[in-house]
Chain A
């Protein structure tokens, strides 16, 4: 499994191994759980939301105008984002930084903006509504913690694509995992 060709050149380790990726997948699944639970309340399928610290403030947050900005409740979008994180985290083998650059980059791009939106939502809670929501804060912590560990794999893929481009090969083909290019470029 620690085949040396799996380690990107100039790196000390392979960012695409399962021990590197699985923790992120589990954290993303926890995010799916939290966000799905919160969206149940937004769909009025449950009557109240668990909050050990801020009581019914959570419900104020979950029914706020910001949560209804889009046609679907924001917690459902969050759940969808975490599903994308988990799926793109699990697809591909232990050399995927060069065999499937596209999935690694979708993974990185899915993790980044989700983290950003979470921060904006955390800021909006006290500033716009004067309320806090424990599970929303947990969800935000999850999405911020995911950012850096996802970025190492993305950097390895971007460096691979940089080598492909400098060698005069097709960036487009390499992005989708062209086998001939993978054989030629390390």
Chain B
């Protein structure tokens, strides 16, 4: 969970960086779009049931590594986004402890023998 909190802080950093470091319009727009998305995915994955939402931040983080070159960022924006991108990707890999079972979680809905159905079977034998 702490890893997701760090990503929320990095997302906030992305959102405020353009006004502090005086980015140009393109660089600023990129940060103003990606920042809220990073925060959203990190907040959703704070809860164990949606911890896997953190994988979406691999996508946003990767975009931060590509965008400075594709959109020809100025130096300060390039540095900010590259560092943020690397950190976001790294912290997306930390899942933390997921103790609860949730009947097999979201993937149970697509499984042949999901955990919640096994639980029903074993309880009916008792």
Q: Which residues of A contact B (CB under 8 A)?
A: 8-13, 115, 119, 122-123, 126-127, 140, 144-145, 147-149, 151-152, 155-156, 158-159, 162-163, 166, 186
Contact = CB atoms under 8 A, between A and B. Distances in A.
A9 B123 CA distance: 9
Interface of B: 18, 28-29, 32-33, 36-37, 39-40, 43-47, 49-50, 53, 99-106, 108-109, 114-120, 123
Nearest to B51: A148
16 contacts: A9-B117, A9-B120, A10-B101, A10-B104, A10-B117, A11-B100, A123-B36, A144-B39, A144-B43, A147-B50, A148-B43, A155-B49, A156-B103, A163-B116, A163-B120, A186-B120
A8 B119 CA distance: 9
Given A119-B37, A122-B36, A155-B49, A148 B44 contact: yes
Which of A147, A148, A163 gathers most chain B CB within 10 Å? Answer: A148
Nearest to A153: B49
B49 A123 contact: no
B102 A155 contact: yes
A16 B66 CA distance: 44
B33 A151 contact: no
A126 B116 contact: no
B104 to A, nearest CB: 6
Nearest to A120: B36
What are the 10 closest A-B residue pairs judged by CB atoms, nearest first?
A: A10-B103, A148-B47, A10-B119, A10-B116, A9-B119, A126-B32, A10-B115, A9-B120, A148-B50, A159-B116
Contacts of B120: 9, 163, 186
Nearest to B19: A126
A156 B33 CA distance: 33
A119 B100 CA distance: 29
A156 B119 CA distance: 13
Contacts of B39: 144
A152 B36 CA distance: 23
Nearest to B112: A166
Contacts of A119: 36-37, 40
Nearest to A13: B100
Nearest to B28: A126
Contacts of A115: 40
A12 B115 contact: no
Given A9-B119, A11-B102, A11-B103, A162 B47 contact: no
Contacts of A12: 99-101
A9 B101 CA distance: 10
B40 A123 contact: no
